[in-house]
Amino acid sequence: MKPVEIVVNDKMQQGYRYVRTIPVGTGFDPRFKPELTPPELLELGVFGGKYMTDCQAEFPASWFAKAKLSPERHDPALNHFGVEASTPLSYWIENKWVYREDPRGWFQWYCRYFMGRRCPDDERQIKRWIGIRRHVQQLRNNCKPGDLTCRRRQRQALLHWAYDSRKI
């Protein structure tokens, strides 16, 4: 693949540049096996619909055709499980979980990784994704298979991390 330079100009980044070097949706680290793609997550309803409202120019228009978005405000009703499952970005920043090049956090990193960007933060983010797996086991230990009303907040949080909690 010929490298493609991307220039980002949105509310959180002005003039940020990165290069996509891997074909879209391929070349993932073998430990990183997300069950849902970024457009699938957006269609299901994640982050109260507010997350990607000002940075659509960076990603394919098809990602947003069926996305549940709320440009005006965060709306938990738009989440697939209809519940709040997020902490404010300020909390993530305070805990130093946000990489300077991805000021929106993990999902922004995942979108860019999916599109073919590779960066120094990949290893850390993949380890964080692996760490979330503990919530899958908690659902299995505490919920009947297929009971989507059990631990809806935890199920929604898993969706945010590209684990398909509808199948647990």
pLDDT band with cut points at 50, 70 and 90 for residue 89: confident
DSSP string, 94-133: HTT-S-TT-TT-HHHHHHHHHHTB--TTHHHHHHHHHHHH
pLDDT at 132: 94
**What sign has the CA pseudo-torsion 109, 114, 123, 130?**
positive
Share in percent of the chain as helix, strand, coil (round to 5): 40, 10, 50
Query: How far is residue 55's CA from residue 13's CA, in Å, rounded to a whole number?
Result: 9
- Can you give the pTM of this predicted structure? 0.94
Question: What would the pLDDT profile of 122-168 be if each residue is shown by its tens digit?
Answer: 999 999 999 999 999 999 999 999 999 999 999 999 999 999 999 99
pLDDT at 96: 82
Widest distance between CA atoms in the chain:
49
pLDDT at 71: 86
What average pLDDT is seen over the chain? 94
Best CA proximity match to 78, nearest among 46, 55, 109: 46
- β-strands 14-20, 4-9 pairing: antiparallel
**What sign has the CA pseudo-torsion 30, 91, 158, 12?**
negative
When comparing pLDDT for 55 and 32, which is higher?
Answer: 32
Q: How many CB atoms lie within 10 A of CB 7?
A: 12
pLDDT at 90: 86
pLDDT at 134: 94
* pLDDT over 90 (residue 36): yes
Both structure tokens of 137 = 């086991």
Q: Which helix (H) or strand (E) holds 27?
A: none
Helices H, strands E: what count in the chain? 5, 2
